[in-house]
Structure 1
Amino acid sequence: MFSSGSLPRLILLAVYLPLRSAFPLSSTPALHAAEDAEHDSSDLWLDLGAAVALVLIGGVFAGLTIALMGQDTVHLQVLATSAEGPERKHAQTVLKLVGKGKHWVLVTLLLGNVVVNESLPIVLDKALGGGWPAIVGSTVLIVIFGEVIPQSVCVRYGLPIGAYLSPVVLFLMYVFAPAAWPTAKLLDWLLGENHGVVYKKAGLKTLVTLHKSLGSKPAERLNEDEVTIISAVLDLKDKAVQSIMTPMDHVFTVSTESILDEKTIELILSAGFSRIPVHAPNDPSNFLGMLLVKTLITYDPEDAKPVAEFVLATLPETSPETSCLDILNYFQEGHSHMALVSKHPGENGGALGVVTLEDVVEELIGEEIIDESDMHDDTQRPAEQPQQSSVADFPVPLNRTLRRASTAPIAKPGYISSITPQQRQHLDNLAPSNLARKPKHTRFPFVKIKRSLQANGDNDGVKGDSAVQGSADENTPLLRS
């Protein structure tokens, strides 16, 4: 029935099959375990690599938040216009990015940072098997490598880093635009757009003062004079002319009936003023114009003419509340460098004092300007002002007495003999450019001008609400005909 080779084969099968069922071989499970271990090892390194990448990306988002949001818009504008080299280019790049919407940039960076930080625990959970190792690992990685180190670096090098990564941020802004842009517009509506820090005057003065000591190089610091002038300019708008004017008790004035003889001329010259307010007779508070001392160069004091016969310059009037900056703007028109401070500008009476361009400039530089013609210390403070000048205050030196050439007992001064006819003709035409009888128009409403008695033939003057258009002819004589 069976061949000789089939019987041993049947016996072998009958013995092997029960033994294999009772004692399974271990070679097959070991092979599968090796394959699983190799697969798990590759997944672990992949998860760890993904975790490192997420930490680095999260650090970039956190650092860019500091680098871009920490830049003040006003400061960027300053750097973009006044800085040099790479700093200027970086500021222009960042300013262009932030100009698209600072809240839009902020929401984009925060949204990207949240996505990365929320993904990190999931990746570490697979790599570390979940539980407390994943929590501790993600916390340490995020705090140290995702927040502290990147933000510390970007605080120091925020501008160049922000400029270098601006294209990446701009790309992400459009990627996250469906969620980021509406949120940014909502923030703009609720909080307002961020236009940078705008300092008040007090803050600017403090900032300027700090620059005396700030800066690593002497060239970067401000010196004392620069700080004084800048601070004075900031205060000029809020300072009234009443605080810097010379009170009328200390102003050298003359009447229209004053006779310009030798004694009066010497008094005028000794006083050292270039402009002298002229008031109506018997009314020292009603001023009609001012006498320019330069017009007396060719005048012979032996003629003994009254002031009323001279061509007077316009004396504008303003209220004591007018700011120093406003009166400086008026002086820059060139119509006058002196103004009368009055309770009732443009009306008779009420004179309080005078303010000049020199007073405003002294206020700007914080120091008194003393030229070679100053005869006394004039600090514009009432307590230190000299009283109104008189003949006794200024004794007449014999060598300065002015006489007619034909009657001089001694040799006439050299400067008289050296004047040519052409120069004398020019000196005869030194009339004021802004005549009191025909004042020029001014665009400043706080300045009032009234016509002098020369335009009306009386001693009262005429009240004017504003200046009248007009100018002096270049051939206007110094004396009225």
Structure 2
Amino acid sequence: MSNSSRTRSNRTIAGLFFVISKAVHASPMFKMSAEEPEEPIGSAGFWWKMIMSMGLVLLGGAFAGLTLGLMGLDELHLRVLATSSDDLKEKKNANKVLRLMKKGRHWVLVVLLLGNVIVNESLPIFLDSAIGGGVAAVAISTVMIVIFGIIPQAVCARYGLQIGAASAPLVLGMMYIFAPIAWPIAKLLDWVLGNDENNTYKKAELKSFLQFHREGAEPLRDDEISILNGVLSLNEKKASEIMTPINDVVTLGSDTILDHKHVDIILTSGYSRIPIHEPGNPTNFIGILLIKKLLSYDPSQGLPVSSFPLSILPEAKPSISCFQALDYFQTGRSHLLLISENPGEPHGALGVITLEDIIEEIISEEIVDETDRYEDNRHKRRAKRQSTAAIMRGIVEREKRRWSFNSYGDNAAGTDTPRTSSRAPTPKPTPGREPLEITRLLPIDEHFKVPL
């Protein structure tokens, strides 16, 4: 831009200020006698004071924006970012702001407000000397604040962490400069209002907080939210709320003869642990019979239950929390706990809980295995199987295959194939020979419901 163009531009802007000033002075609303400007409009002193005024407005907007940005940052959120953020720059910024806030949150607030007050009180001095006082100064300062004051505040409110971290050294320097005034006021605020340190969420707030994470950059699945809510509720839930009533528990007396009939009852029950009680006293339990002890047992021997070694059967009051029960199960001493009104005494049995019951409370769903009768132990409702469309993705199950042999005994069919592959044509059985049906052998524990 040439010198003549700049001169014309300066004259135009100066003319605008002159017109605005004269219009305001000529307004009927202008009733106060305004002071005459000290500097002629368009002079170097005039432009210097106008630039200083705009700078003060920008600085005031920055102070107000920092007040909004820094005071709006949650300290707990900053600690989370400082310890677990994947963005190294974000983690560094959070640490900078945290170090500043540890000097005193009220101290930072007082310094920013004090700086804003100084700027706002200095602005009329420059405007009065440039364009005179009265309504003209008010009108022009209002326009300047709208243009140069709101934008910094909006930017600081939007990028509070980044701008707060960048300006932390400047704010810290101002804190020491204004310490004789700001520090006593901050301590007075600490004494009157208290500190806002160590703010944490309550469990109910955390549960609501999780619900808001169904959407976003990394949304939580419904199952993840249910599991987290289940864990948060575990310590508040009592064992009596999830136990299986003693009347619904499969038990045996120590004098019961394990013949074919009783062994069939045990196997069809689907349980891997059976509580054992004293003969004739179904409330006095003495231990647990592990079904795996019967693997090599021949029912034709007709031995009583007392002939087998029994595992420990721990007892507890119904008031213990599910977390206490889980802590005990984690010791490995037992995965079944007897709930009794009088633990250690031969009466008062109310029910049992297992590790499976605890896990079901955590995941908020019934665990339905291959041998379950699909019942909810507490409410006696049929447990619903989940839809396998999404669950079975990436999982292969082998199915039953039918094999047939020709008259010479040769194998006429292929080997087992996963369900996900193309199905081989089934060969026709040779006349006079029944097809042999072969199933995959499962580990013995998979034939029983295992209350872990």
The AA in structure 1 aligned to 2:332 is G
Alignment counterpart, residue 380 of structure 1, candidates 377, 399, 418: 377
Asked whether the 8 Å contact 2:39–2:45 carries over to 1, the reply is: no
Cα offsets for 1:262-282 (capped at 9, x unmatched): 221121111111111111121
Taking the TM superposition and a 5 Å limit, the aligned residue runs for 1:12-31 are none
Structure 2 distance, partners of 1:332, 1:77, is: 32
In the other structure, the counterpart of 1:451 is none
8 Å CA contact 2:254–2:279 kept in 1: the answer is yes
Which residue of 2 is the match for residue 298 of structure 1? 296
Which segment drifts farther, 137-146 or 156-165? 137-146
C-alpha separation between the residues in 1 aligned to 2:41 and 2:268? 109
- TM-score of the pair, normalised by structure 1: 0.68
Distance 1:38 1:221, change over 3 A: closer
Which blocks of at least 5 consecutive residues in structure 1 are unaligned? 1-35, 387-481
The CA deviation at 1:197 is: 4.3
Structure 2: segments with no counterpart, 5+ residues: 1-37, 384-452
Among 244, 252, 273, the alignment partner of 1:246 is 244
Displacement of 1:141 in angstroms is 2.9
Q: Does 1:165 align with 2:167?
A: yes
Give the Cα separation in 2 of the matches to 1:210 and 1:193: 28
State the match for 1:207 in structure 2.
209
Instruction: Encode CA deviations 1:165-223: one digit per residue, 9 max, x unaligned.
Output: 111111111111111112112212222211264221111111111211x21x4xx1011
- Please name the residue that 1:81 is paired with: 83
Structure 2 CA distance for partners of 1:106 and 1:201, relative to 1, 3 Å: same
Task: Give the match for residue 138 of structure 1.
Answer: 141
Q: Say which of 176, 179, 185 aligns to 1:177.
A: 179
Which of 254, 259, 262 is the aligned partner of 1:261? 259
Structure 2 distance, partners of 1:90, 1:385, is: 54
Distance 2:335 2:314 in 1: 9
Three-state SS of the structure 2 residue aligned to 1:379 is coil
Q: Provide the C-alpha distance between the structure 2 equivalents of 1:385 and 1:37, rounded to a whole number of angstroms.
A: 91
Letter in structure 1 aligned against 2:112? L
Shift of 1:340: 0.6
Q: Which moved more, 1:173-182 or 1:293-302?
A: 293-302
RMSD: 2.0
Is 1:108–2:111 an aligned residue pair?
yes
Q: Distance in 1 between matches of 2:201 and 2:334?
A: 35
Aligned identity (percent) is: 53
Cα distance change, pair 206–356 in 1 and its aligned pair in 2 (3 A): same
Q: Would you say the 8 A contact 2:39–2:129 is kept in 1?
A: no
Q: Match of 2:164, SS? A: helix
Aligned equivalents of 1:325, 1:337: Cα separation in 2: 14
* Pairwise CA distance, 1:37: 7.6
Shift in alpha-carbon separation, 1:243–1:260, aligned structure 2, 3 A: same
Secondary structure of 1:232's counterpart equals helix
Task: State the AA in 2 paired with 1:85.
Answer: L
Partners of 2:41 and 2:337 lie apart in 1 by 96
How far residue 385 of structure 1 moved from its aligned partner, in angstroms, is 8.2
Contact 2:288 2:310 in 1 (8 A): yes
Match of residue 153, structure 1, among 152, 155, 165: 155
Per-residue CA shift, 1:83-136, capped at 9, x if unaligned?
213222211211121122111111111111111111111221111111111223
- Structure 1, 239-248 or 41-50: larger mean CA deviation: 41-50
* Corresponding position of 2:51: 49
Once the two structures are TM-superposed, the CA of residue 327 in structure 1 deviates from its matched residue by 0.7
Per-residue deviation, 1:76: 0.7
The match for 2:127 is: 124
